[in-house]
Amino acid sequence: MRIAIMDDDKEFSDKVQNMLNNISADKNISLSVDVYNNEEEFSKHIGKYELILLDIEMPQIDGLQLCETINRQKNGEYPYVIFVSNKDNLVFKALNLIPYSFIRKCDIEFDLELRILSLYKRVQASRTVYTIKEGYDDVNLRIQDIIFLEKYKNYIMFHTAGSVYKERGKMAVKEKELTPFGFARINVGNIVNIRHIVKVGYDNIMLKSGETLSVSKPYRADIRKKCSRFWGN
């Protein structure tokens, strides 16, 4: 997993880099970590990373505005942002930008490993390829590219940003296979990739694509719980 640390405090950012290198070695996971102490250099490389650890308040840089820039440059769900700050009064403003999480600097030694391991699993899962059978052809779809599944007669329709693929099958089988990869059933005819949800309403969800899908009563509590866990709340 490729990680950038953006913090004007060089001593602190070097400390976090060492912590991440230790997590990589201790847990036998691949973490590539770069440190930036100025906005100009960092802004040139935003697209390289899957996670950015970002300070909120820096003397010459507004971390919240920088997060807006990061969000505009997102490629799908990447990069995730974890705000790292002791400015508790800015938490609610920060959450409006939908970061993955928020860590207080004074708690970094306790919280960083948990957040990194959780996100690492998610990133690895998103790289997974799911193979469907469309007619006589095998079609390989990246998990992160599947937006939602829709039941249509005897077929399952796989909706992606650019295309719709269909495969004969049963929703119950797909639900069982895809739930471990961050999918959730929201009604009899739809299974949704949680990473594509931007808002959960009372009886519906809104997707990044702008589409709105209904959520049946039996699934409302479950989808709220799964989205909250996925968003790191």
Domain boundaries, the chain: 2-126, 129-230
What does the pLDDT average to over 199-215? 94
Given this model, what pLDDT does residue 174 score?
97
Query: What is the spatial distance between Cα 3 and Cα 53, in angstroms, rounded to a whole number?
Result: 7
2-10 average pLDDT score? 91
| 2 bridge partner residues | 32
Please report the sign of the dihedral spanned by the C-alpha atoms of residue 29, residue 121, residue 105, residue 73. Answer: positive
- 96 pLDDT exceeds 60? no
Q: Which CATH number among 2.40.50.1020, 1.10.10.60, 1.10.468.10, 2.40.50.140 corresponds to the domain 129-230?
A: 2.40.50.1020
Cα Rg of the chain (Å, integer): 19
Cα dihedral value 66, 46, 54, 118, nearest 10: 130
DSSP structural state of residue 78: B
Average pLDDT of the residues of the chain: 88
2-126: which CATH architecture?
3-Layer(aba) Sandwich (3.40)
Is the pLDDT reported for residue 197 higher than 90? yes
Report how far residue 16's alpha carbon sits from residue 35's, in angstroms, rounded to the nearest whole number. 9
Q: Determine the pLDDT at residue 16.
A: 95
pLDDT in tens, 102-134: 888 889 999 999 999 988 988 887 788 999 999
For residue 199, what pLDDT is reported?
92
pLDDT confidence of 49, banded at 50, 70, 90? very high
Task: Please give the average per-residue pLDDT across 25-41, as a whole number.
Answer: 91
Angle between helices 10-27 and 108-126 (to 10 degrees): 60
Dihedral, CA atoms, 47, 69, 181, 175, nearest 10 degrees? -130
Percent with pLDDT over 70 in the chain: 91
As to burial, measured by CB atoms within 10 angstroms (0-12 exposed, 13-18 middle, 19+ buried), residue 72 is: exposed
- pLDDT over threshold 60, residue 66: yes
Specify the pairing of strand 2-6 against strand 32-36: parallel
